[in-house]
Amino acid sequence: MSVTTEVKDIRARIAELRERKIELKEVPRRLTAQELEWIRISTVCPEISNVQQALQNLGKKFWDMMFTTIDFDNDLNGNPIPDKTQLDDIHTNPYQSLGVTFTALPGPIWDPKRMPMPHVWIRPYPDEAASTPNIVTLDQWEGGGDFDVFGQIMVSFESPHQSVFIDARVATLDFRNGTTLSPGSAPYLRAFDANGQLLGEVQFPPDQIPQTPYTLSQPHRLAFGTDSPIISSAYFSCSYPEGADMLIGYFDNLVISRVMG
C-alpha cells in the first residue's frame, strides 16, 4: 500500500471516529492493528479522553515518521536561524546533514555585467511566511519574493524521495489594465529525476490568486508525489510569462518524504 493510500485510509477512519464521537477508551476495540500501532508510537496519554485530540496527536506523530519538514525558522537543534543565512553555501546551510542542498538558478533578466550572482537566502518576512518568521528567497535585500525571470531555487537531494512539498503565497502587483489580473503568472513546483527529466509540475490554484492589486494570498501547499522514490531535485519560483501581470511568490516550509530502509 502506498503512503498516499495509507494517508487517505487514516483520514477516512479519523473522519468516521470524529463523526461517532467515540471516546478514547472505546477506540482499541474498533481500530485496526496498524492504527493501534500508530497509537502506541504516538504515546497518547491515558488521561486524554477526547478522541479528536488523541487522533490529532496521532496524526502529527504519523506525519513526523513519514516526512521531514524544513521550516527555515530553526536549525536541526531547534535554534533560530539568523537573518541572511546563505543556504547555497555548504558551510552555512543548516540542513546539509539531511542531504538537502540549495542552488540559485539565474533567470533571463540576470545580467552578469550589472548584477551579482543570485544566492539562496533565509530572510525574515513574518507577514508573508507560512510559518513565521522566515522564508526562503533569492532576494537578499528588500521585497523577499521571487519570480522566475529573475531566477529559480533548486533543491537537490542526496537520496531520491517519493514526495516533495513547498508552501507558497502570492502577492499581486500593479495590474496592466488597472482592474483585473492577466492570466499566466503563478507560483509553481517542478520535480525532476536523477537524469534531469521533468517528472511533473504543480501550480498555485488560479482561483486562490487575489484579483485585487497589492494583495497577499493565503498559503497554499504545492505538493508533488510519485509511486516510488525517484525525485532527485525540485525547482520552485513564480512564473512570469511575457504579457502577464507580475506576481511575486513567497516560499516556506519545504517538506520531503523520509527515505525508508
Of 190, 197, 192, which is closest to residue 223 (Cα–Cα)? 190
Rounded CA separation 79/176 (Å): 44
C-alpha cell at 115: 548584477
Cα 98 to its chain centre, rounded Å, is 16
Which of 24, 49, 67 is the last residue before a domain boundary? 67
Report helix, strand or coil for 208: helix
- Average pLDDT (19-31) is 44
Residues 37 and 166 in one domain: no
The parent domain of residue 61 ranges over 3-67
Tell me the residue type at 53. Q
Residues 44, 162: one domain? no
Give per-residue pLDDT as tens, 76-89. 999 999 999 999 99
Query: Is residue 87 located within the same domain as residue 204?
Result: yes
Q: What is the pLDDT of residues 155-177, one digit of tens each?
A: 999 999 999 999 999 988 766 66
pLDDT digits 0-9 by tens, 98-129: 999 999 998 887 777 877 788 999 999 999 99
One-letter identity of residue 38 = W
Percentage of the chain lying above the pLDDT 70 cut: 70
What CATH number did the domain enclosing 120 receive? 2.60.120
pLDDT of 2 strictly over 50: no
88 and 207 share one domain: yes
Do the beta carbons of residue 204 and residue 186 sit within 8 Å?
A: yes
pLDDT above 90 covers a percentage of the chain that reads 48
Strands (E), 111-259: 121-124, 134-137, 151-161, 163-172, 187-192, 198-203, 220-225, 231-238, 247-257
| Number of domains composing the chain | 2
Q: Are residues 106 and 211 in the same domain?
A: yes
Distance CA 99, CA 3 (A): 22
The string of DSSP letters for 9-37 reads HHHHHHHHHHHHT--GGGGGGTS-HHHHH
Domain co-membership, 92 together with 214: yes
Residue predicted with more confidence, 248 or 244: 248
pLDDT of residue 55: 56
In this structure, the answer to whether residues 104 and 169 fall within a common structural domain is: yes
* 216-236 pLDDT per residue, tens: 999 999 999 999 999 999 999
Q: In terms of domains, do 153 and 235 share one?
A: yes
Residue 132 identity (one-letter amino acid)? T
Average pLDDT on 70-75 reads: 97
